[in-house]
Amino acid sequence: MEKRKLGKDLEVSAIGLGCMGMSFGYGPAGEKTEMIKVIRAAVEQGVTFFDTAEVYGPYTNELLVGEALEPFKNGKGGIPLVIATKFGFNIVDGKMSGVNSRPENIRKVAEESMKRLNIDVIDLFYQHRVDPNVPIEDVAGTVKDLIQEGKVKHFGLSEAGANTIRKAHAIQPVTALQSEYSLWTRQHEIEIIPTIEELGIGFVPFSPLGKGFLAGKIDATTKFAEGDIRNILPRYTEEAREANKELLQVIERFAQEKNATNAQIALAWVLAQKPWIVPIPGTTKIHRLTENNGAVGINLTVDELKEIEAASAQVKIIGSRYTEAMERSTGL
């Protein structure tokens, strides 16, 4: 697996593994022993970058990741793993309940996340969503203190706007921004990506496969499980899925030409945008993990990228990525 660098000095595999869906967001949680097998298979395939958060479950995903990666921690087997987790929400009665990035909560989450993950230091600690009630300078200052105390190595933001990123970076250098980015979610190209490029901040796209849609396995007849977030997202209504298959046709053409899968082309496109972009597709299946990781070996030429750009620009994506209420909570 190739390596990439986030920020000044955080080296990770070119593709990471988003672990959320193993416990949260896409219907019933995966069977624990099977999910552990997937995470350990990722390590065997060269993945060194794993993404989780306290609210995934809540709590259960951190416990899963902590147990699955136990044999490889502290450089065992010569594998330097990077585990990213997040703070920034209240959790009430086992459910996410509004944002909370007050300094005392950041510290509380750091201590509890380390225990669940069974680690002595958090490699990358993201603010999960911007808290409008807490100045970002206070958030960055608290994480800076945690870094100085040896409890955190790197500071990250998620779904933050350009102004927020600049303010935070001035207090404590931001290593990575995590936000949604893919062939059909590209609003960050206008202001966010130029800002982080200027500041030397890495980019970690979540949902680089459009929550599975860009892999070509979802169509208008697909039924999502109870509790699957896609049941409430405008882009995944039956009508939207039928209309948005036009983008799949673009991807399929290049997949055939490159002897690759749709997922591999979609991921290869993300990887080709900047050398400091590290997507974190999620999966609960080893064969999909292997497929996704294969995208690293696909080289899209300048001409091919131009062709994909021209063809995809002709497709009108139907449905917003989130509901209006969810968009308001992203901090953009």
Neighbours of 35 (CB within 10 A): 21
CA end-to-end distance (rounded Å), the chain? 33
Which residue type, as a one-letter code, is found at position 332? Answer: L
DSSP letter (8 states) at residue 29: P
Q: What tokens does 160 get?
A: 């933050």
Q: Which of 56, 59, 126, 236 is catalytic?
A: 56
56 is catalytic: yes
Neighbours of 83 (CB within 10 A): 22
Strands 122-127 and 152-158: parallel
Q: CB–CB of 208/182 below 8 Å?
A: yes
Euclidean distance between CA atoms 293 and 276, whole angstroms: 17
* Helices marked H in 190-237: 192-199
Q: What tokens does 63 get?
A: 């416990």
Euclidean distance between CA atoms 249 and 232, whole angstroms: 25
User: How many residues are there in the chain?
Assistant: 332
* Helices marked H in 69-178: 103-117, 136-148, 162-171
Euclidean distance between CA atoms 67 and 65, whole angstroms: 5
Q: Which of 127, 178, 172 is nearest to 149 (CA)?
A: 172
**CA–centroid distance for 140 within its chain:** 20
Euclidean distance between CA atoms 117 and 59, whole angstroms: 10
- Residues taking part in catalysis: 56
